[in-house]
Amino acid sequence: MYLQIENIKKYYGQGDNKVEVLRGINCGVEKSEICVMLGPSGSGKSTLLNLIGGIESIDEGDILVGDTDLGKLSRKELALYRRNTLGFIFQFYHLVPNLTVKENIESGAYLSKKPISVDELLKTLGLEEHKDKYPNQLSGGQQQRTAIGRALAKNPSLLLCDEPTGALDYKTSKDILELLEKINDKYKTTIIIVTHNDAIKNMAHRVMRLRDGQIIKNKVNTSRIKAKDLEW
């Protein structure tokens, strides 16, 4: 497995207020898989994603990404892991308002050892004709495309998406999911999509379901369908 999660526990609060939000998570994702993580609000999806993303500290257990054991990294090494290995996509796009589409995407390649050409990305993302626009001149879907471009510019091995279509309408959501599918095909990027939209599971290679901080389902999807054929 490329990503291995072993008996992960995570607590918030202290003393009488201490709550166990992840209660012994064991799971894994193979290289180049699209993994969809489902579960109701509060089930621990974002917390798990933040642990994989090196944003929050692990309380118990191990997370391995390739040969990297996250629990053993110093703060500086963790920052390098995030810079070299990961791309992040969020529900809200967090673009830099005074940079153009092209400049926002370029900013994601900063300090990367193996960046993807920005012109190639603009083409893949369907943003060529918008490259000189500023975020406030773009639709939500175009802003999310730009954010995806920025996350991809450094050619990350692992793309972490937290509700990437949460703020988008049906058609635009499908466009963005098709784009993630295309990226997975083209760059073999391992992609984790956290969502509460059940329909998205059908495009995944692997589906996990969380409830109350535990994995209640983890299975390989043997009947994948194309993102463009998803319906909800």
Residues 6+ apart with CB under 8 A from 6: 26, 61, 62, 63, 64
How far, in Å, CA of 197 to CA of 39, rounded?
Answer: 9
Q: Tell me how far, at minimum, the Cβ of 9 lies from ligand ADP, in Å.
A: 12
Q: What is the DSSP letter of 84?
A: H
Binding residues for ligand ADP, rule: CB under 6 A, are 12, 21, 39, 41-47
Closest CB to ligand ADP among 52 and 153? Answer: 52
Closest CB to ligand ADP among 45 and 150? Answer: 45
Q: Tell me how far, at minimum, the Cβ of 56 lies from ligand ADP, in Å.
A: 8
In the block, tokens 């095909």 appear at 185
Q: Tell me how far, at minimum, the Cβ of 128 lies from ligand ADP, in Å.
A: 35
- State which H helix or E strand residue 45 sits in: helix 45-52
Question: What is the full DSSP assignment across 134-199?
Answer: -GGGS-HHHHHHHHHHHHHTT--SEEEEESTTTTS-HHHHHHHHHHHHHHHHHH--EEEEE-S-GG
How far, in Å, CA of 162 to CA of 197, rounded?
Answer: 12
- State which H helix or E strand residue 229 sits in: none
Closest CB to ligand ADP among 124 and 165? Answer: 165
Q: Tell me how far, at minimum, the Cβ of 132 lies from ligand ADP, in Å.
A: 36
Q: Are 57 and 213 in contact (CB under 8 A)?
A: no
Closest CB to ligand ADP among 14 and 74? Answer: 14
Q: Tell me how far, at minimum, the Cβ of 88 lies from ligand ADP, in Å.
A: 14
Closest CB to ligand ADP among 184 and 195? Answer: 195
